[in-house]
Amino acid sequence: MDGKTRVCGLIANPVEHSMSPLMQNFYAERTGVNLAYVPFKVEDEGVGDAVRGAFALNILGLNVTVPHKQRVMEYLADIDEDARAIGAVNTLVRVQDGYKGYNTDGAGLKRALDTAGIGICNENCILIGAGGAAKAAAYVLARGGAKSIFILNRSQEKAGELADYINGLMGRAIASALPLDGYGALPRIRSGYLAVQSTSVGMYPHGDQVVIEDPRFYELVHTGVDIVYTPARTRFMELVEEAGGKAVNGLDMLLYQGIIAYELWNPQVRVDEETICMARQLIEEQLAGARSKHNLILIGFMGAGKTSVGLAYARQYGMPIIDTDQRIEEAAGMAIADIFATQGEDAFRKLETGVLNQLLAHTDHAIISVGGGLPLREENRALLKQLGCVVYLDVSPETVMERIGRDVSDRPMLQSEDVEGRIRELLSYRRPVYVDASHVIVDVNGRKVEEIVGEIHKRAGI
């Protein structure tokens, strides 16, 4: 920081647990902008003073969140059209005589949908909830060209108010209100509905909760979007997927609303895709640190050394070690090769998920070594990050061949006339999955176990 450093910040109450300072300062570092972002705790009665004081202090811009998104609008020099329509402001940008207010929540949702390949135009939509987030979502759906929007809410009166507002805004009857259990009256559409879950129900630590539990509701849904971003896989998402639909969480909405705010303050820069990917991982790590247990999880391909490194780490730091494959064999009463032969790979992967759920409920401060294929399931990757710090032992095909040899009778995934070719094929497919599932990546090629243990302890801190 120096005399030319510009300042941005967040006004909210509470403000202590916000991830905005972490993310906005990261964007400034990555884009080379001389900017510092800080949190400001502001009481309800101090919102006007905070806005006027920020302008007097030459602060470039502010984010605004609960409980000030509506009240702050009284003190602004101008308000963007979308923010005025949504009825809430979450971003202030300095202009000549004060601040102009924007709402990046709606724009963040739209960009998240686009990134996930989810279209809105001509879709029949279901919106769960009728609060502030629902208003932003309804606006995005309506402006995006949705054919219809059915708003389901515990208070049908409140849902009706939102529907009337959206219809008035659009000049046509696009939205209608139903009670929460009124989905049975929805028209049966062969293509199904795009559903947006806009409440906070199901957010960590209440990840087992959901607004609508009835599986018959989810049979109506071809795609479900949950604005909740933690846990990574909410109960709403599980039910959508169990019914055969596609499901996404709210992490990208959170990510993009912050990026859009940053680019409003700094119109001369754009946050590139590499930075976006890094920011997403930062958020995931931050969330995992807030909710996870203090286990060390080792993942990687066959022959990466998960067992030998795990045993050495356990000995050196006095921690118990758990092997998920051993747990499965003990529970099933047969070897993994026999499980594959008699029940198939899909059944085995479900057993792996069961073991992870057991560990999540009962295990802390342990070394956990997992099978090479366990992270392939998206659900398993989410569970791994909740279990603790995930370390990927990165191994080359040559090292794998050197360590396991050509006798692969006990390795069902390597059954092939060309073992080396099979290793290369599997590793090429799995490596990006391992990278996505991990917090820390350690190269194990040509290194002693003790050296690997030392690096893991230094970087993982467990």
pLDDT digits (tens, 9 = 90+) for 117-143: 999 999 999 999 999 999 999 999 999
Pick out the residues of the known binding site for substrate: 325, 349, 372, 430
Confidence (pLDDT) at 17: 81
| Fold of the domain built from segment(s) 107-249 | Rossmann fold (3.40.50)
Class of domain 6-102+255-276: alpha beta
Pick out the residues of the known binding site for shikimate: 18-20, 65, 90, 105, 229, 257
Q: How many helices (H) and strands (E) does the chain have?
A: 18, 17
Q: Which parts of the chain sit beneath pLDDT 50?
A: none
Q: What are phi and psi of 254, to 5 degrees?
A: -60, -45
What is the distance between the alpha carbons of residues 108 and 253, in angstroms, rounded to a whole number?
Answer: 5
For residue 321, what are its two tokens? 């070690």
Confidence (pLDDT) at 411: 63
What is the distance between the alpha carbons of residues 82 and 101, in angstroms, rounded to a whole number?
Answer: 10
Pick out the residues of the known binding site: 18-20, 65, 81, 90, 105, 129-133, 227, 229, 250, 257, 303-308, 325, 349, 372, 411, 430, 447
* Residue closest to 382 by CA, chosen among 245, 252, 239, 284: 284
**N-term to C-term CA, the chain:** 33
Confidence (pLDDT) at 204: 77
The reply to whether domains 6-102+255-276 and 292-460 share a CATH topology is yes
Name the CATH superfamily housing domain 292-460.
P-loop containing nucleotide triphosphate hydrolases (3.40.50.300)
- Sign of the CA dihedral running 68, 73, 75, 80: positive
Element (H, E) at 37: strand 35-41
* Beta strand 98-102 pairing with 91-95: antiparallel
pLDDT in tens, 96-115: 999 999 999 999 999 999 99
Confidence (pLDDT) at 186: 95
- Model confidence, pTM: 0.66
Give SS3 for 298. Answer: strand
pLDDT in tens, 309-361: 999 999 999 999 999 999 999 988 999 889 988 998 888 888 999 899 889 88
Domain spans of the chain?
Answer: 6-102+255-276, 107-249, 292-460
Confidence (pLDDT) at 292: 57
> Helix 132-143 and helix 156-170: axis angle, to 10°?
40
Instruction: Return the ∠ at Cα 373 (arms to 207 and 230), rounded to 5°.
Output: 20
Give SS3 for 305. Answer: coil
For residue 287, what are its two tokens? 């969330």
What is the distance between the alpha carbons of residues 78 and 70, in angstroms, rounded to a whole number?
Answer: 14
Contacts of 2 (CB under 8 A, 6+ apart): 34
Pick out the residues of the known binding site for ATP: 303-308, 411, 447
What is the distance between the alpha carbons of residues 122 and 219, in angstroms, rounded to a whole number?
Answer: 20
Confidence (pLDDT) at 4: 96
Confidence (pLDDT) at 394: 95
Active-site residue set: 69
